[in-house]
Amino acid sequence: MNFGSKLEMAVRQKHSAVCVGLDPRWANLPSAFTDGVDKLDLVTIADRTTKYCCEVIDATVEFSPIVKPQAAFFELLGPPGMQALGSVIAHARKAGMLVLLDGKRGDIGSTAEGYAAAYLGETSPWGCDALTINAFLGNDTLEPFVKRAGDTGTGIFVLVKTSNPGSGFIQDLKADSLTISEQVAEVVQQHCEKRDGKFGDCGAVVGATYPEQLAEMRKRMPNAWLLIPGYGAQGGSADDVAHGFDSDNLGAIVNSSRGIIFAYEKEEFAGMNWQDAVASAAQTMANALPKFHG
Amino acid sequence: MNFGSKLEMAVRQKHSAVCVGLDPRWANLPSAFTDGVDKLDLVTIADRTTKYCCEVIDATVEFSPIVKPQAAFFELLGPPGMQALGSVIAHARKAGMLVLLDGKRGDIGSTAEGYAAAYLGETSPWGCDALTINAFLGNDTLEPFVKRAGDTGTGIFVLVKTSNPGSGFIQDLKADSLTISEQVAEVVQQHCEKRDGKFGDCGAVVGATYPEQLAEMRKRMPNAWLLIPGYGAQGGSADDVAHGFDSDNLGAIVNSSRGIIFAYEKEEFAGMNWQDAVASAAQTMANALPKFHG
């Protein structure tokens, strides 16, 4: 089964389009994990980070089909952090969540092959179901990822319009009547059209913080899964992200990181056990997002 | 001392603008390293890869100021590969080479801070001197890298015009009278102007395979170090890369990966000990590149 169909099945099964973003910033972890740990002891920090992420996964697995570890926060812990990343990926898959690694990788052909083989597929060393990709180097650099995804039933999400304030610097520039984002989107849609099922292996990242562009991108890429970051802490609302769903209220997953994994810091969850707060935030978000028909 | 000045000093000391690209593809390693190793035994493969990379560094340290490990080929070996990367970086620094990690990282602000803190500076877990950066997400996403580089005496190399055949897909598009590459180059030069010394912390990647654009970019970024990939195996010649140097024949480092580290596969080095072949290839390349005056 191709990745697009796998993700559709998982979203239907969980009745949820929530993507849980794992950005395990040490300063925000519950004190039970961090108390007494030397800030230079990366081995212990990585161990505690693993434990925390696994418990977040256990708390959210009922309410979310997919988890998105942010590579930067594991790389920040050096080699022990990469061990942690491997353990967290394995735990999530075993628990029944798809794993989308947010690495924003991209390089010229032969190196892109290396990244694709590193991350995509059960037989790869990291064993992810999907990876975020940066296409700045050119559409030729997407080919090795698309091929690997097709061969292994995995997916990629290509950066099309990111959620940050300065994303327009390159992405909104218009050349030959289309913006850069629109030109990347055309390539994404072309890759999706070649696949079986409604949704292809090649998705797109389009931020919730630019809802008009999100609506336009939904139309431009009818067969692509959209990964929508920028919900919650970054300012995107449920109304904003609704523009990213198709007429069946499918085709998009919406990421929240801080809003879910650090929910225990919020007043509304005061006094609650940290894991219950995390579960509750994921459930609340799942209920707030558009629900598919049929 | 800022990174621009450190790199200048290193180039002058070694009389060489060669950047040794470490792309340790397992299939190309000398058979002494690979014989009898199970291709699924990533721990042993990573150990042998470390040993090989360290011996490449020892063979080339006399002829090159800087080494560029390609992150993909270490990530491809899973967590043991990341241990290997850490060991190789430490060995190179101890041997007296600057270390530029080719990771092409880039993300929104707070995540970019994570990547910058992960890789840049002696006190970071990986301890690199410099990192390659992808600015597709916007110029705001460069700020955390520029700040960290300034604070720690390290550098970044921002992708401006890459060496691959499809690099024009985004980079050559023209918007508001400048190509995307030119717009990124303007930002790089602005960051360099703010620093002491002739060269700033913020360099640019410009491929040897587009010599006219290389010459144009040299003029557009007079204070930026250029990292020039695409020499040798990808088709760039010594004449091509000469366009990337300034009037003192400074300001550029030229990367070669396969041409140096797998030199023993070439007919011209047949019968030579593998490490001597690697050393000889690095020395030959150093002599072929423009030599600085004064």
Angle value at C-alpha A183, between A131 and B176, nearest 5 degrees: 125
Instruction: Print the domain residue range for B161.
Output: 3-288
Place of tokens 């006094």: A271
Residue A294 belongs to a domain:
no
| Residue A53 maps to a domain | yes
Q: How far apart are CA A259 and CA A266, in angstroms?
A: 9
DSSP line for A99-129: EEEEEEE--SHHHHHHHHHHHBSTTSSS-BS
Residue that has been written with the tokens 């030069």 in this structure? B189
Cα distances from A234 to residues A132, A207, A259, B60, B259, in angstroms, run 19, 10, 10, 47, 46
Q: Verify whether the Cβ–Cβ distance A125 to B81 is below 8 Å.
A: yes
**Cβ A76–B114 below 8 Å, yes or no?**
yes
pLDDT for the residue B294: 63
B104 CB near a chain A CB, below 8 Å? Answer: yes
Q: Give the distance from residue B71's alpha carbon to the nearest chain A alpha carbon, in angstroms.
A: 9
User: Residue A222: CB partners within 8 Å, gap ≥ 6?
Assistant: A189, A246, A251
Contact status of B44 with chain A (Cβ, < 8 Å): no
Which residue ranges in chain B fall short of pLDDT 50? Answer: none
Sign (positive or negative) of CA dihedral B9, B10, B16, B19: negative
Distance CA A70, CA B72 (A): 17
Q: Chains A, B: CB contacts under 8 A, how many?
A: 181
Q: Are residues A290 and A9 in contact, defined by beta-carbon separation less than 8 angstroms? A: no
Quick check: is A104 catalytic?
Answer: yes
Q: B-chain residues within 8 Å CB-CB of A184?
A: 170
Identity of the amino acid at B108:
I
Whether B76 sits inside 8 A of A137 (CB atoms) is no
Identify the DSSP state of A178.
Answer: E
For chain A positions 194-253, those within 8 Å of chain B (CB to CB) are none
Task: Provide the domain count of chain A.
Answer: 1
> In this complex, is the C-beta atom of B170 within 8 Å of any C-beta atom belonging to chain A?
yes
| Total length of chain B | 294
Minimal Cβ distance to B164: which of A77, A109, A169: A109
Q: How far apart are CA A171 and CA A204, in angstroms?
A: 13
Name the 3-class secondary structure at B128. Answer: strand
Check which CATH number belongs to the domain holding B191 and give it: 3.20.20.70
Residues in chain B closer than 8 A to A167 (CB atoms)? 137-138
Determine, for residues B164 and A117 on separate chains, whether the beta-carbon distance falls below 8 Å.
no
Nearest CB to A78: which of B75, B86, B105?
B86
B100 within a domain of the structure (yes/no):
yes
User: What whole-number distance in Å separates Cα of residue A264 and Cα of residue B119?
Assistant: 30
Q: Which of A64, A98, A77, A271 is nearest to A201 (CA)?
A: A98
C-alpha–C-alpha distance, residues B55 and A156, integer Å: 36
What pLDDT sits at residue B222? Answer: 96
From A249's Cα to the closest Cα of chain B, the distance in A is: 28
**Contact check, Cβ <8 Å, B183/A169:** yes
Domain-located, residue A145 = yes
A157-196 burial code (b ≥16 CB/10 A, e <16): bbbbbbbbebbbbbbbbebeeebbbbbbbebbbebbeebe
Two tokens at B292? 């600085």
Determine whether the interchain pair B167/A137 forms a contact, defined as Cβ–Cβ distance below 8 Å.
yes
* B75 vs A118, A170, A171: nearest CB: A118
In chain A, which residue's Cα lies nearest the Cα of B22? A111
What was the pLDDT predicted at A292?
Answer: 85
Q: What ranges make up the beta strands (E) of B87-201?
A: 98-105, 130-133, 155-161, 174-175, 178-179
Dihedrals phi, psi of B94, to nearest 5 degrees: -65, -35
Whether A183 and B165 lie within 8 Å, measured CB to CB: no
Contact A162 B138 (CB under 8 A): yes
In a domain, A123, yes or no: yes
| Residue of chain B minimizing CA distance to A75 | B118
Closest Cα of chain A to B137: distance in Å? 5
Residue A248 Cα, gap to closest chain B Cα (Å) = 30
Note whether B18 and B63 are within 8 A (CB).
yes
CA atoms within 13 A on the CB side of B184: 30
Residues in B closer than 8 angstroms to A178, CB to CB, are: none
**Which residues, other chains included, contact A202 with Cβ-Cβ below 8 Å and sequence gap of 6+?**
A142, A146, A149, A155, A156, A158, A188, A191, A192, A224
Which residues of chain A are within 8 Å of residue B135 when distances are taken between CB atoms? 136, 169-170
Cβ–Cβ < 8 Å for A148, A116? yes
For chain A, which residues score pLDDT lower than 50?
Answer: none
Helix, strand or coil, per DSSP, at residue A251: coil
pLDDT digits (tens, 9 = 90+) for B182-235: 999 999 999 998 777 789 999 999 999 999 999 999 999 999 999 999 998 788
Give the tokens for residue A292.
């598919």
Which is catalytic among the residues A6, A14, A68, A104? A104
What percent of chain B is predicted at pLDDT more than 70? 100
A155 near B CB under 8 A? no
Burial class (CB in 10 A: 0-12, 13-18, 19+), B176: exposed
Q: Is residue B294 part of a domain?
A: no
pLDDT for position B53: 98
The SS3 call for residue A222 is coil
Distance of CA B21 to the CA centre of its chain: 6
- Supply the pLDDT for residue B139: 94
pLDDT value for B36:
96
